[in-house]
Amino acid sequence: MTFFKQLCLIALILSIAFSCKKEDHWTPIFNGKNLEGWTPKIKGYEYGNNHNNTFIVEDGILKVSYKAYDSFNNTFGHLFYKTPYSNYRFRMDYRFTGNQIIGGRPWALRNSGIMIHCEDPKNMELDQNFPVSIEVQLLGGNGVDERTTGNLCTPGTHVFYKDTLVTEHIIKSSSKTYHGEQWVHVEIEVRNDSIIKHFINGEEVLSYTKPHIGGGAVNTGDKWKPKENQHLKGGYISLQSESHPVEFKNIELLELK
C-alpha cells in the first residue's frame, strides 16, 4: 500500500470514529418507564398537577391521554423537561391516535407541538394557555387535505424568516402530509438566538433566525411588554396537549458547543 493510500485510510478511519463518537453523545431524556424529569403545567392547575392523568406512560411510550376527561374545556397542557438548553439537537418520533376529545378546537384536530426556548414553567400564571416560547408545530393529516407538519408557531414571540421580520403566528414548513396513525420522526437544531432548523423524517423543512419576545397568543395581558424584542437565547423544552391523543417515543437530546 502506498504512503498516500495509507494516509487516506487513516483519514477515513478517524472520520468514522469521530462520527461514532459524536453519535454517542445523544442522550435519552425520557426513560420509557415514568415521567421522571418531566413536569406538567396544565391551564387552570398548578405546576406539577397532572390533571386527569393527561400525560401517562404505557408500553415505553409517552402518551397524551383523555380517557379521564368528559370534555376538553380549554385545558391546554405542556409537559416540561427539567433542564433548560441553548444549543442542542432534539429528536423523537410522534404519532396521532384515536379521536379528538369533545370540546377541542377545530384547529386542534391532530395537533400538538414541541415548545422550545420556553419560559420557566414555575413562573407561568394559573390560567395561562401557552408558555412564551417557540413552537415546532406537529400536525397530522385529516385524510383528505394537504397539511404540513414541522411548522412554526410563535406564542408571545417573533422570528426572522428569510431575513425578514415575521409577525404572523404561523409559518408553514415544506413537509409532506402524514395521514393516519403512522410514526413520524422530527428533529430540531437549535443554535441559541441565531438559527433554528426543523427536520421531518430526515429532511430539512424550515429554518429561521433571531427568535425574540413579541406579539400575542399568550393570555398574560401586558406582563411581557417590558421585555419586547428581547432575544431568546435558551429555555425549557415542553410537549403539548391540545385535545387530540398523541404519542411520543425515542426522545433524545444532543448538546452542541
In terms of pTM, does the model score above 0.75? Answer: yes
> Could you give the 3-state DSSP secondary structure of residue 106?
helix
Give dist(CA 18, CA 108) in Å, integer.
43
pLDDT digits (tens, 9 = 90+) for 149-207: 999 999 999 999 999 999 999 999 999 999 999 999 999 999 999 999 999 999 999 99
The amino acid sitting at 41 is K
Distance, in Å, from the CA atom of 204 to the CA atom of 187, rounded to the nearest integer, reads: 9
Give which of 191, 255, 256 is closest to 29, Cα–Cα.
Answer: 255
Does 22 score more than 90 pLDDT? no
Q: Give CA–CA dist 254/154, Å, rounded.
A: 24
Q: How confident is the model at residue 257 (pLDDT cuts 50, 70, 90)?
A: confident
pLDDT digit string (tens) for 226-235? 999 999 999 9
Q: 75 Cβ partners below 8 Å, 6+ apart?
A: 42, 43, 44, 45, 51, 52, 54, 69, 241
Render pLDDT for 82-114 as a digit per residue (tens, 0 to 9): 999 999 999 999 999 999 999 999 999 999 999
CA 158 to chain centroid: 16
Mean pLDDT, residues 22-47 taken together: 92
* 256, 191 Cβ separation under 8 angstroms: yes
- How far apart are the C-alpha atoms of 237 and 79, rounded to whole Å? 8
- DSSP strand pairing (184-191 vs 170-171): unpaired
Position with higher pLDDT, 148 vs 10: 148
Could you tell me the three cell numbers for 249?
Answer: 417515543
State the amino acid at position 195 in one-letter form. Answer: I
Q: Is the pLDDT of residue 9 over 60?
A: no
